[in-house]
Chain A
Amino acid sequence: MSLRHALVFLVPLAAGCAGTAMSTVRERSALDALPVPSPASVMAREQTADQQVLHALNRLAFGPRPSDVEAVRAMGVDRWIALQLEPQRIAEPAADSLTARYRTLALPLPQLLKQFPPNPVLRRMARRGNPALLPDSTRGVSRADSQEYAMLRRRTAVVGQELISARVARAVVSERQLDEVMTDFWLNHFNVFAGKSASMRHYLVAYERDAIRPHVLGNFRTLLGAVAHSPAMLFYLDNWQSSADSARPRLIPPRVVRAAQRRYAERAPQLAGMPPARRDTLVAKLQQRRRGLNENYARELMELHTLGVDGGYTQTDVTEAARVLTGWSLQQPNELGAFRFNPVLHDAGAKTVLGISFAAGQGVTEGEQLLDLLARHPSTAQFIATKLVQRFVSDTPPAALVQRAADTFTRTSGDIREVVRTIVTSEQFFASAAWRAKVKSPFEVVVSALRAMNAPADTTPRTAAIVARLGQGIYQHQAPNGWPETGDGWINTGAILTRINFGMALASDNVPGVQLVHWAPYASLQAMPHAQQVDGVVRALLGGDVSSDMRSILLSGDHPMLEQARSEGSITESTAAPELSESLSPAMPAPMRGKMRGEMRTPRRNEPQGLAQIVGLALGSPEFQRR
């Protein structure tokens, strides 16, 4: 019986824990088949058994939902890790039904571009059809016309809104948490900026869905190839318009190129009426005339995607790699957005990259060979291993573990699942030094808080806007290096303040979808004395493991540091309650922004009281900023 078939008959392992990450593990035999280290290994680790459970949930997941700790403890932390490494064995009802609630996410790219035309296409349509549709503040445009144009733009803006909304929502509700963590990791490693062009949000829908997600625990070379062929990366780093310098040999005779350029110049006005393939060739020729070799992608491919900045390549290697990749282009960027190898743009001469010769005239296969070469290079194994250890273990990655992970990478020809397994089952992963050693990114802060509060998925972009407000706008990192993997990049005075205020807003029911009364522990804790409330909140949100200082500050208010804070004067005026998420993603149309004002606002007369106050303090505490 195939595994897929077997899954149909899965039996709930932890029936009664509906909504927890673990309840969906539904077949003992499938679970038993997973490689599991002996229980003795749990005992041999530096972290206590309880710490290991929380640690795993904070590193392989975006923190625990209310009953996850119990469930992982019952299953055994090693088994849970083994299961997360095999996400296809985890049923995913919540995330599956979530995707169905979005209008754009399942559409193939050409349909997405067609049904939600990017702004340049809209403008062109408007110009051809009804010029009065164009936005205009000088000429009297009829109200109805500009409203129609505005309506079309708003409709297209949905693409970007759903893109960022779903990233947060899936991370919150998915049972395949490691899959989500790895998606976050690789999207950051292969960073693309949504604001690069009008079509970029469309491309990113396909990028995340088709290029990244299927391979997050797969083979590195396959992932690298999917990214290299993706419209998102080809456009973001300009390779789509990189072309051979004029002195270089071509796959197509020069006179053909020149004739095409001449024809293009003569017929440019009729361009729109041509068959698409022909038009593309001509457009490509025009581009090739105007621009030459563009090294952006080739450089970042080596520096950021594979070898690392000290990976042993030279400027000459970058230029040669860029020559190899000429012709890796796009067909009809605003209408189709499909990868196309364009022989007209390709440099057909011989090249040498990292000491390896590429024979002349091999066309698109040269690029594939280049990716092979880079993916199996020892520097790539080191670089990827270092970044993964940094993500999962510590800002200062233990050298021995990096070496083991790099060895696994090399031995398995870049099997990401095995590299991650090496890292998350290592003694360094469970070392005391690794416990709460990582600073959460803003995305991790928001998602872990929502998970801790058992929040439902928010299919609006409002929660994503809060992530942006905390400093990590989704797909908003401009430079190709991605967001920092280490804590020093995240912690500054403004950041601490917005994190504290996020905790306060969440505790006062000012974050979409979160209501304290619906929080599972609320009902039982609410009637309890203050001390038990404190312990209950600390248990639920911080795994029960906090210092006596913290507990006493939350409990009695008699701590000396608290006295000092009071004596120096409180820093807030309870009358001042300005908005926190005032400015949201620029992708969002003004009406939506207007609607979203007031999210994360602490109302003047609704200061959190009692239990809510403790929740706010716990979420704003230094301990919650770590994982």
Chain B
Amino acid sequence: MDRRVFMRSGAMALVTMGLNPSFLRRTTFGMQLPQAAQGKVLICIFQRGAADALNVVVPHGDPAYYALRPTIAIARPSLAAGDAGALELDGMFGLHPALRSLKPLYDRGLLAPIVAVGSPSSTRSHFDAQDYLESGTPDRKGTPDGWLNRYLALSGTCEAGATCANSPFKAVSLTAQMPRILEGPRPVVAMNSLDEFTVRATGSQSDRLEALYRTGRADMIHATGNDTFEAVKMLRSANPQQYAAANGAQYPTTDFGRRLKQIAQLIKAGVGLEIAFADIGGWDTHVNQGGATGQLANRLREFGDGVAALVADLGDRMSDVVILTMTEFGRTARQNGNGGTDHGHAGSMFVIGGDVRGRDVHGRWPGLAPEVLNEGRDLALTTDFRAVFSEVVTSHLGGTDTARVFPGYTGSRADWLRILNSTAASALPARPG
């Protein structure tokens, strides 16, 4: 007997026995939901438009920094600078003051900034650089799928003939369209909002639709249709409408804030979420980007407040969660003639989670002296983004075959920054240098 049919008739029997719906839900989907609820989660947040790394993680200890940016630099942390000064991290770096809400996470050891990180490709095209970051294959355009989808293919490997009992919500993108990073053969749900994941029809009509998908030839459309209706029921019993953020978390009242909140909802609903994705735009600050206040500061405030709320909301669950923030490249070290910055090279990232070796700025700092700038104008790259992604995929998610996630990547474990405690705990070859 087909397993799906078995599960369904099993569930039917339970209904007639009068068992409660939440138990039914767990049985119907043939998943160990309590276990799934404890599973590891990776949340990727893409800052589209190339965030100005030098004003995000501010190198206030680098003497060249202030010369390069006479009007837009963030002041050294000091009493005199007050709220306009960088938020001190380690004497060399400070956070942009608009990231005030992330500072406590750093202090508690949950947040690790990475500096001088990014794609080795020299492209300055937003499109190409985003493409490379998402495909995971710099300078190789033809890659059909995104690296997160390739990871899913790995983790979804199951024995021949077996039905993979994956949650329909294993990978969810809170975006209108499927992002490149999750494109590929493994099923991923992309939606603007959880409210969208429902059939917009009266009860009797949706019952009929469900019945239509249960009859007819046993093909891909019918099988997936069945999964769809099960998934909708699953989400509905998780009751996202009734959700209230925990621990006093205050999400920004923006699309970005709402999407992060819904990611938290999915995680807490125990629907088997493993990979979540969201993005936030507005980083392409060619003109009047501002300093401690202004355009960039406004974007950073929304970004930082959103991430901080997500961490607060998830509370203890953060021990199983890693949040990874990324942007396609950094911006020019020098400010331009319009009080902004142009397309540059290396950028910065944040890694946040219970397992993160926080309270430490990771990555080698190449300096901002003219002779060490990339092409004489941008921060040079010292860490390939694939080193960070590989470490997270391996140490956090337990993926073993990173060569298949990042084909063509020649780096090894020795290149990892050891941002996660679990990496440091596992046996590693000595790091050269």
Specify which chain B residues have a CB less than 8 angstroms from the CB of A338 in the assembled complex: none
**Interfacial chain A residues near B227, Cβ < 8 Å:** 493
User: What's the nearest-Cβ distance from chain B to residue A209, in Å?
Assistant: 23
Contacts of B201 in A (CB 8 A): 500, 504, 572, 602, 607-608, 616
Partner-binding segment picked from A32-40, A133-141, A180-188, A382-390: A133-141
The answer on a CB contact under 8 Å between B294 and A565 is: no
Q: Are A134 and B206 in contact (CB under 8 A)?
A: no
B167 CB to nearest chain A CB (Å): 10
A493 touches B224 (CB 8 A): yes
Query: B208: which of A136, A491, A492, A562 is its contact (CB, 8 Å)?
Result: A562
Interfacial residues of chain A within 559-581, with CB under 8 A of chain B in the complex: 559, 561-562, 564-574, 576-580
Smallest CB separation, B5 vs chain A (Å):
11
Of the residues B131, B177, B204, B209, contact of A473 by C-beta under 8 Å: B177
**Assembly CA distance A622 to B211 (angstroms):** 11
B320 in the interface, Cβ–Cβ < 8 Å? no
| Residue B10 interfacial (CB < 8 Å) | no
**Is B298 engaged at the interface, CB distance under 8 Å to the other chain?**
yes
**Interface mask (B384-413 → A, CB under 8 Å = 1, otherwise 0):** 000000000000000000000000000000
Contact of A304 among B142, B176, B197 (CB under 8 A): B142
Residues 498-521 of chain A, each 1 if its beta carbon lies under 8 Å from chain B, else 0? 001100110000000000000000
Q: Does B207 contact A (CB under 8 A)?
A: yes
Inside 8 A of A304's CB, which chain B residues have their CB? 142
- In Å, the complex CA distance between A195 and B294 comes to 27
| One of A346-354, A359-367, A546-554 contacting the partner | A546-554
CB distance from A577 to the nearest CB of B (A): 6
Q: Which of B37-45, B188-196, B306-314 contacts A (4 or more CB under 8 A)?
A: B188-196
How many Å lie between the Cα of A561 and that of B211 in the bound state? 5
CA distance A601 to B11 in the complex (A): 33
Cβ contacts under 8 Å, A237 to chain B: 141
Contact check, A476 vs B177: say whether CB atoms are below 8 A apart. yes
Assembly CA distance A625 to B232 (angstroms): 20
Cβ–Cβ contact A568 & B228, under 8 A: no
Q: How far is the CB of A284 from chain B (nearest CB, A)?
A: 17
Given A491-B221, A578-B193, A569:B21 Cβ within 8 A: yes
Q: Known: A138-B295, A578-B193, A622-B222. Contact between A493 and B141, CB under 8 A?
A: no
Q: Let me know if B165 is at the binding interface, CB within 8 A.
A: no
Interface pick from A168-176, A249-257, A407-415, A477-485: A477-485
Q: How far is the CB of A571 from chain B (nearest CB, A)?
A: 5
Verify B213–A479 contact, CB threshold 8 A: no
Q: How far is the CB of A65 from chain B (nearest CB, A)?
A: 24
Q: Taking the nearest CB of chain B, how far is it from the CB of A281, in angstroms?
A: 22
Q: Is the CB of B225 within 8 A of A496?
A: yes
By a CB distance below 8 angstroms, the chain A residues around B202 are 572, 574, 607
* B158 interface contact, C-beta 8 A: no
**Complex Cα spacing A607 to B232, Å:** 20
A524 to B111, CA, bound (A): 67
Closest 6 pairs (CB-CB, A-B): A583-B176, A570-B203, A549-B215, A138-B294, A578-B195, A561-B211
Measuring CB to CB, which residues of chain B are less than 8 angstroms from any residue of chain A? 8, 11-12, 15, 21, 125, 127-128, 131, 135, 141-144, 168, 175-178, 180, 183, 185, 187-193, 195-216, 220-222, 224-225, 227-229, 231-233, 236, 241, 286-290, 293-295, 298, 338-339
CB<8 Å pairs between A and B, sample of 24: A137-B288, A138-B293, A300-B141, A439-B221, A492-B224, A496-B225, A500-B228, A504-B199, A549-B215, A549-B216, A550-B212, A562-B207, A565-B207, A568-B15, A570-B204, A571-B210, A572-B202, A572-B232, A582-B176, A582-B192, A582-B196, A613-B205, A617-B212, A620-B209
